[in-house]
Amino acid sequence: MTKLNARIPEGPLAEKWTNYKAGQKLVNPANKRKLDIIVVGTGLAGASAAASLGELGFNVKAFCYQDSPRRAHSIAAQGGINAAKNYPNDGDSVHRLFYDTIKGGDYRSREANVYRLAEVSGSIIDQCVAQGVPFAREYGGLLDNRSFGGAQVSRTFYARGQTGQQLLLGAYSAMMRQVNTGMVKLYPRTEMLDIVIVDGKARGIITRNLATGKIERHFGHAVVIATGGYGRAFFLSTNAMGSNGSASWQVYKKGAFFANPSFVQIHPTCIPVHGDYQSKLTLMSESLRNDGRIWVPKKKEDVEALRSGRIKPKDIAEDDRDYYLERRYPAFGNLVPRDVASRAAKERCDEGFGVGSGLAVYLDFAESIERLGKHVIEERYGNLFQMYEKIVDDNPYETPMMIYPAIHYCMGGTWVDYELMTTIPGLFSIGECNFSDHGANRLGASALMQGLADGYFILPYTIQNYLAAEILTPRMPTSLPEFVETEDRIRERLNRLMQIKGSQSVDQIHRKFGLLLWELVGMARNRKGLEKAIREFASLREEFWREARITGGLDEMNPELEEASRVADFIETGELMARDALQREESCGGHFREEYQTPEGEANRNDEKFMFVGAWEYTGTGQEPVLHKETLNYESIKVQTRNYKI
Amino acid sequence: MDFTLKIWRQENATAKGRFETYPVSGISADCSFLEMLDILNQRLINKFEKPVCFDHDCREGICGACSLYINGRPHGPDSAVTACQLHMRKFKDGDTITVEPWRAKPFPVIKDLVVDRSAFDKIIAAGGYISVNTGGVPDANTIPVRRADAEIAMDAAACIGCGACVAACKNASAMLFVAAKVSQFSMLPQGRPEAKERVLKMVAKMDELGFGNCTNTGACEAECPKQISISHIARLNREYLSAKIL
């Protein structure tokens, strides 16, 4: 049985990364030229890694399913990026960012990785500014900050409501500069279908060209996956339509452990579901909670009157409004972490106080508009308000927004050690794709930070420690039997998909599965539901392989085939999510087990039994996977119950 | 709501394309344009017919994948949105809606409504960046930027690279796209050291790839889903001229 070794460097927490860098092996410039690195995914993590590795002199091949790397879904991140710069002089420090992240993650993330993340956070801002990212500025010309959930300092840098876009374009431009020098070769509209392992090491990938259907083999001395999360398993989520968890699922099936799959983030402020034809949910940035107040009516009769349209939200007197986050969590108010805010919204709606369809709460800007003026709100959130108005056909400057929680981000992912290497030697996993930094709940504005930290400042170091031993490995021909066999299996799978010719479209099956996943492995989970989920998903898997209908052919652009392959993986991932949620008999972060809550309805964590990372090892489809536990040791902080009340 | 859709179908890059007519009925006014196409595609799949291919991804107006020419306008009749944020309430019940791909020589059709926009990536690769390597950069606050300048840079940087400007332009010019990038960097002190090289290389690449010239019609600005102003083209011209002359 493989043993987990996180390979955390010795020494005091604050010195681990420095010590690591001082002692790690490097690859000299002449040898870098002889080494090829495959990077799959061109979001913040992938693009920044490809750019940085190319600059160092490695030969990089970058793959993305989109028509251009600039469209990776990091582009949709709105609110901002955290960094411990302490520019506002409000008491921030590396230690405080580290502490907030560990606490926000409900003490389920790895201390050494999180500390390193906080440590490099400041360099990310420097890098992005040097690249020309147009961050918001004060009148004096210096950078502006705003607050985000789970923190009592302002450490979030932002570019209007389009921070992800601007950071991604920065990383994309840096990568395109390397494309121009020839150090990075770009493969857009190309999807990884499997990883190739030669003598126990990751040595390449098999891809499908999505424009032509052509299957291709690619060699690399190392493979990096930066393919994001599996949130679209739920069908409705804030992820892009093409976002998928297939790369991390394929490598799981080849021996890379999958950690904490049940840790999925449900974002509190999304535009509510409005119809059964709906294809996705749209996020409204967490930054809105800086100036918006969340409430529902106190009286059921007001709820009724609102739903029937007899009164408008502004007709409800101040005393008859329940600002439930401010009521329950006075210290953090509307800026509690996402998991807490989401559950509180669900609690109110379950009690019958939801507005709109019943599954919505108000996010109200009336007070801020009165205090600051409409122009200030417009300056801060103009594009978000415009987006809301276009979708909902209602003016949020005049009527409060209606919001409800939705699936947004995956804290779980491929298990990696301190070097971001998976349990397959030579296979690295970065960004949302890995599990390492956010524990059971991610704080707002920390995804961008982690993606860029991994890609710019961590992987380019740690990958060299691995590659230093590979300088004598010549480039391998892709005619090796390992490549041929992997390709054959992929072709067999694709042919099998095309031959099903069943009675249901892939979309239909995905919707059905997504609803079940949301109901049984969503915001609140319990033993009975999870056991049911495992059974149901197994039969849904069989139903998929019996009933899916895929039109078109193999050797052409065929979005139905792409989607089918992804959905097949999602259903299997769902089964693992349910297993993980079932074994974790506690509530922590985004994982809420109804059996484990305090009398006030807060999450009841069990540190004695569950202070570990649950890393799953694949044993075969339909077989029970093996759970490995990485015990979490907190040396530098005192583990406490999360309290956002006082 | 009921509609008659006339959609461009084309098997592949070399095949001859044609319009096909599809009636769709029972569409909610709150449905987005792409969700309406999803519904059509589900109905086609039910009949074992090939669904209509179109580029789309984020469905919240930021990735820039949408590239639909709807009733003769890039992204359709609503202003300041991409096709994924266009809702059926903007049409009248019973309308006939024509859907075509972007029409421009540098954007060849791949299939149905999907075009190849890699020419845009080539323009960026030619010089759409500030040449700094990872690490070794100064502290962010050692580079103050006038707030008004940062705002103009951000206005330009909002470009999503969808190509609506090219599709709208009778000359298939990419001037607004190139101007947005040149303008962003020209407004920032970080971008000044290589401003000349940047503008010359990007414009040369744009010409080489077969994009047309700008004749100041302003269609690009009118159709840009991010409302990027043609004043950035004026700035591009100024940058280009001074790079050529000085």
Q: Of the candidates A351, A382, A407, which is a domain's last residue?
A: A407
Task: Choose between A357 and A203: higher pLDDT.
Answer: A203
Tokens of B50: 């090939």
CA of B145 vs chain A CAs: smallest distance (Å): 4
**Do the beta carbons of residue A86 and residue A62 sit within 8 Å?**
no
B218 in Cβ contact with B230 (< 8 Å):
yes
Mean pLDDT of chain A: 96
Give B161's contacts in chain A (Cβ within 8 Å).
68, 70-71
CA atoms of B161 and B121, how far apart (whole Å) = 9
Domain's final residue, options A365, A387, A407: A407
Nearest to A8 by CA among A637, A632, A597: A632
Do A281 and A390 fall into the same domain? yes
Q: Which residue is it, tokens 């059964």?
A: A276
Beta-ladder partners of A576: none
When CB atoms are compared, the residue of B34, B63, B125 closest to A71 is B63
Residue A223 CA to chain centroid, in angstroms? 20
Chain B residues near residue A45 by CB distance under 8 angstroms: none
What is the pLDDT tens value at each position of chain B, 246 positions in all?
Answer: 999 999 999 999 999 999 999 999 999 999 999 999 999 999 999 999 999 999 999 999 999 999 999 999 999 999 999 999 999 999 999 999 999 999 999 999 999 999 999 999 999 999 999 999 999 999 999 999 999 999 999 999 999 999 999 999 999 999 999 999 999 999 999 999 999 999 999 999 999 999 999 999 999 999 999 999 999 999 999 999 999 997
* Nearest-CB residue to B188 (from A125, A132, A242): A132
Asked if residue A537 is part of any domain, the answer here is yes
Taking residue A471's Cβ as centre, other Cβ atoms within 10 Å add up to 14
Q: Please count the other Cβ atoms lying within 10 Å of the Cβ belonging to residue A194.
A: 20
Nearest CB neighbour to B110, from listed A242, A387, A557: A557
pLDDT tens track for A351-367:
999 999 999 999 999 99
Q: What is the pLDDT of residue A286?
A: 86
Catalytic residue positions of A, numbered: 338
Minimum-distance CB partner of B138 among A71, A126, A159: A126
Residue A563 belongs to some domain of the structure = yes
Residues 36-55 of B with CB under 8 A from A: 38-39, 42, 44-46, 48-51, 53, 55
Chain B residues with CB-CB distance to A180 below 8 A: 125-126
B169 CB neighbour count, 10 Å cutoff: 24
Whole-number Å distance between alpha carbons of A10 and A450:
23
In three-state secondary structure terms, A150 is coil
**Strand partners for B173:** B212
Residue B154 is nearest to which of A159, A176, A505, comparing CB atoms?
A: A159
Q: In 10 A of CB A165, how many CB atoms?
A: 26
pLDDT in tens, B212-232: 999 999 999 999 999 999 999
CATH among 1.10.1060.10, 2.40.50.140, 1.10.1370.30, 3.30.559.10 for B117-245? 1.10.1060.10
A277–B contact, CB cutoff 8 A = yes
Contact B35 A51 (CB under 8 A): no
| pLDDT tens sequence across A291-333 | 999 999 999 999 999 999 999 999 999 999 999 999 999 999 9
Cβ contact, residue pair A279, B38, below 8 Å: yes
Is A412 in contact with A264 (CB distance < 8 Å)? yes
- Substitution target in A551, A554, A566 with the highest count of B β-carbons within 10 Å is A551
DSSP characters over A541-558: HHHHHHHEE--S-SSS--
Look at residues A311, A307, A293 and name the one whose alpha carbon lies nearest to residue A366.
Answer: A293
Residue B219, min C-alpha distance to chain A (Å): 22
Predicted confidence (pLDDT) per residue in A521-537, tens digit: 999 999 999 999 999 99
Nearest 5°: phi and psi at B74? -60, 130
Per-residue pLDDT reduced to its tens digit, A561-581: 999 999 999 999 999 999 999
Phi and psi for B178 in degrees, rounded to 5? -65, -40
Q: For residue A275, what pLDDT band results from cuts at 50, 70 and 90? A: confident
Domain count along chain A: 2
A219's tokens: 């060699």
ipTM value greater than 0.90: yes
Q: Give B-chain residues touching A127 at CB under 8 angstroms.
A: 132, 134-135, 137
The predicted model gives A107-115 an average pLDDT of 97
d(CA A121, nearest CA chain B) in Å = 12
Structure token digits, residue A576: 């693992």
Q: Between vectors from CA B108 to CA B102 and to CA B113, what angle results, nearest 5°?
A: 45
User: For position A150, what pLDDT does the model report?
Assistant: 84
- Tell me, yes or no, whether A508 and A618 share the same domain: yes
Q: Looking at the predicted structure, is the pLDDT value of residue A260 above 80? A: yes
Specify the residue for token string 């489809």.
A621
Cα gap B7→B37, rounded to integer Å: 10
Rg (CA), chain A: 24
Residues contacting residue B244 through CB under 8 Å, at least 6 positions apart: B200
* Judgement on whether residues A399 and A505 belong to the same structural domain of the protein: no
Asked if A548 contacts A497 with a C-beta cutoff of 8 angstroms, the reply is yes
Predicted local confidence at residue A368, as pLDDT: 95
CATH of the domain at A383: 3.90.700.10
Q: What is the pLDDT of residue A2?
A: 57
| Mean pLDDT, range A7-22, rounded to an integer | 97
Q: How many CB pairs under 8 A join A and B?
A: 220
What's the mean pLDDT when you consider all of chain B? 97
The one-letter amino acid code at B12 reads N
Taking contacts as CB-CB distances below 8 angstroms, the residues of chain A near B56 are 241
Class of domain B3-111: alpha beta
Strands A222-225 and A36-40: parallel
Longest dimension (CA), chain B: 65
Tell whether A72 is covered by a domain.
Answer: no
Question: Beta strands B68-70 and B96-101: pairing type?
Answer: antiparallel
- A557 contacts B134? CB cut-off 8 A: no
Instruction: Kindly report, residue by residue over A134-150, the tens digit of the pLDDT.
Output: 999 999 999 999 988 88
Asked if A618 and A253 count as a contact pair (C-beta separation under 8 A), the reply is: yes
CATH code at A556? 1.20.58.100
- Spatial neighbors of A105 by CB under 8 A, at least 6 apart, are A114, A411, A437, A438, A439, A440, A441, A442, A443, A589
What is the average per-residue pLDDT within A151-157? 93
- Chain A residues 323-382 with CB within 8 Å of chain B: none
> What's the start-to-end Cα distance of chain B, in Å?
60
Question: In whole angstroms, what is the distance from residue A233 CA to residue A247 CA?
Answer: 14
Q: What is the C-alpha separation between B52 and A454, in angstroms, rounded?
A: 38
Q: Answer yes or no: is A100 within a domain.
A: no
Average pLDDT of the residues in A611-639: 95
The answer to whether the Cβ–Cβ distance between B117 and A457 falls below 8 Å is no
Contacts of B147 in chain A (CB under 8 A): 137-139, 141
Q: How far apart are CA A572 and CA A574, in angstroms?
A: 5
Owner of token pair 């080849």: A254
* Contacts of A603-609 spanning 24+ positions with Cβ under 8 A: A603/A106, A603/A339, A603/A343, A603/A642, A605/A106, A605/A107, A605/A641, A607/A107, A607/A639, A609/A585
Q: Quick one: DSSP state of residue A144?
A: P
Residues B232 and B229: their CA atoms lie apart, in Å, by 6
Q: Where are the domains of chain B?
A: 3-111, 117-245
Pair type for strands A321-322 and A293-297:
antiparallel
Domain membership of residue A603 as a residue range:
498-631
A172/B124 CB distance under 8 A? yes
- Choose among A190, A234, A176, A111: nearest CA to A578: A234
Here the tokens at position A306 are: 């609102």
Q: What is the pLDDT of residues A500-513, one digit of tens each?
A: 999 999 999 999 99
Assign A47 a pLDDT band (cuts: 50, 70, 90).
very high
Q: Are A440 and A588 in contact (CB under 8 A)?
A: yes
For residue B226, the chain A residues in CB contact (below 8 A) are none
Cβ of residue A182 closer than 8 Å to a chain B Cβ: no
Taking the CA of residue B104 and the nearest CA in chain A, the distance in Å comes to 17
| Mean pLDDT confidence for A34-41 | 98
Angle at A137 between CA A131 and CA A139, to 5 degrees: 140
What the block records as the tokens of B156 is: 């330009």
Q: Which residue of B has its CA nearest to A394?
A: B30
Instruction: Name the token pair of A329.
Output: 């969590």
Please give the span between the terminal C-alpha atoms of chain A, in angstroms, as a whole number. Answer: 46
Tell me, yes or no, whether A298 and A397 share the same domain.
yes
Q: Is the CB of A145 inside 8 Å of chain B's CB atoms?
A: no
CA dist A62 and A32 (Å) reads 17
Report how far residue A183's alpha carbon sits from residue A171's, in angstroms, rounded to the nearest whole number: 15
Predicted confidence (pLDDT) per residue in A155-185, tens digit: 999 998 899 999 999 999 999 999 999 999 9
Domain membership flag for residue A332: yes
B 95-134 → A contacts, CB under 8 A: 110-111, 114, 116-118, 120-121, 124-126, 128-134
Q: Distance from B121 to chain A by nearest Cα, in Å?
A: 7
Phi-psi region of A529 (alpha: psi -120 to 50; beta: other; left: phi over 0): alpha
Fold match between B3-111 and B117-245? no
pLDDT band, residue A252 (cuts 50/70/90): very high
* Contact status of A278 with chain B (Cβ, < 8 Å): yes
Residue A280 in contact with partner chain B when CB distance is under 8 A: yes
What mean pLDDT is predicted for residues A31-40? Answer: 98
Among A407, A441, A476, identify where a domain stops: A407
Task: Please tell me the predicted confidence (pLDDT) of residue A182.
Answer: 98
Q: DSSP secondary structure string, A27-91? A: --HHHHTT-EEEEE--SHHHHHHHHHHHHHT-EEEEE-SSSSGGGSGGGG--S-EE----TT-SS
